[in-house]
Structure 1
Amino acid sequence: MDLFSSDKNLLPFDGTVNYFGYVLPKPEADHFYQRLMETIEWKNDQAMMFGKLIETKRKVAWYGSEPFQYTYSKITKQALPWTAELKSLKEICEKHTGETYNSCLLNLYHDGSEGMAWHSDGEKDLKKNGSIASMSFGAVRKFAFKHKETGEKVDVILEHGSLLEMAGTCQTHWLHRLPPTTKVTQPRINLTFRTIEK
């Protein structure tokens, strides 16, 4: 872990959320944003709800060091091989967090009308209490945390070229979401680097 991670922890208790702020200068962030738009195999996300297959406007992609399978919302995805850009971004995350990652779930939100409801990343394939490194590109968006028992909330603004890490017991005790907003008209790309344990 980063020696100064305790100074960055946004959570008051029961877990760790480190916000590193900008980890890429704007020209580099702009470059990666464009390359991710062009090279990632984006597909509309799917979920099973009440026995029906629902397709979201939000697009997703799943990449990894091996063809890992990853199941959430009762839909299984198989990882595609790393692109050059994703490898570079993974190394940047690993340098800042001191962790290692073998997979990445990407989200493309076309504008502020698209978000993510309250949830925690507790899928059985994920390393328990492992680190999830979240990189943001494009539109600046608010990201929110809510404690599962107390209801206490913590918000953070995720900027273009920034890095946030969720670690420890964060997923056990806290929910997180990307609230929709009418104020944002530009796309946002989010990369969440994870560790799958087979």
Structure 2
Amino acid sequence: MKIEVFDLKNAQLRYVPDFFNSEEANFYFERLQQEIPWKQDKIKLFGKEHFQPRLSSFFAEQDVNYAYSGLELKPKDFSEEILQIKKSVEKFSRLTFNSCLANLYRDGQDSMGWHSDNEKELGENPVIASVSYGAERIFHLKNKIDKNLKEKISLAHGSLLLMEGATQHNWKHQLPKTKKNIGPRLNLTFRKIY
């Protein structure tokens, strides 16, 4: 298993492009697209409501709630497949997670804007474990203070990206739109919510 470590200022990133082999990745990609109850939520940005440019669904242990951008997420129980993926991520990272935000980017026009996962319920230095299936997309990072510090990572089918340490305090990240004619990408982000 190949592990890439990104040496960024005040951030710790580990990327495993082949965390799941192609057969496993294909299985989870197809199964999760079909089984997850996808919906398009509205979020508040600068006082106005907008539909998110992607579909999503939230899974967590009982009594776990999560909110961002004026959106309160009510959790569904983990599916068998999401639990299997979570256990694999936990074994590798040696951490435990109690929630999973699933996002479906239907094509290159679906996106995620600049943000940090730094909500207070995630604790001091949250670890975000991001698993990707489907079309490869470019993930952007930029330092909050030094705008010249930037990084791009191409997130492959079946890959795992771990954002650790003080990454969420010091960096923002996004998944921008692309004009390329690409298929859907499914992303699972695992978090520990307190």
TM-score (norm 1): 0.92
Superposition map of 1:160-179 within 5 A: 160-179=157-176
Please give the secondary structure, in 2, of the residue aligned with 1:10: strand
Structure 1 residues 135-184: Cα deviation after superposition (integer angstroms, max 9, x where no partner): 00000000011001111101110000000000110000000011111114
- 1:27 aligns with one of 23, 44, 48: 23
The aligned amino acid for 2:150 is: K
- 2:10 aligns with one of 9, 14, 32: 14
Long gaps (5+) in structure 1 = 1-6
Deviation at 1:128, TM superposition (A): 2.1
The aligned amino acid for 2:172 is: L
Output the CA distance in 2 between the equivalents of 1:168 and 1:147.
14
- 1:189 aligns with one of 183, 186, 190: 186
The aligned amino acid for 1:194 is: R
Other-structure match for 2:104: 108
Other-structure match for 1:154: 151
- Is 1:76 the counterpart of 2:77? The answer is no
Long gaps (5+) in structure 2 = none
Other-structure match for 1:127: 123
State the aligned residue count. 192
Other-structure match for 1:143: 139
Percentage of pairs with the same residue: 38
Output the CA distance in 2 between the equivalents of 1:149 and 1:81.
39
C-alpha change, 1:47 and 1:35, in structure 2 (3 Å) is: same
Output the CA distance in 2 between the equivalents of 1:59 and 1:67.
23
Please give the secondary structure, in 1, of the residue aligned with 2:84: helix
Please give the secondary structure, in 2, of the residue aligned with 1:34: helix
Q: Which runs of 4+ in 1 moved over 2 A?
A: 49-53
Deviation at 1:99, TM superposition (A): 1.1
Please give the secondary structure, in 2, of the residue aligned with 1:192: strand
Deviation at 1:12, TM superposition (A): 2.2
Output the CA distance in 2 between the equivalents of 1:147 and 1:8.
20
Output the CA distance in 2 between the equivalents of 1:65 and 1:49.
28
Output the CA distance in 1 between the equivalents of 2:20 and 2:5.
20
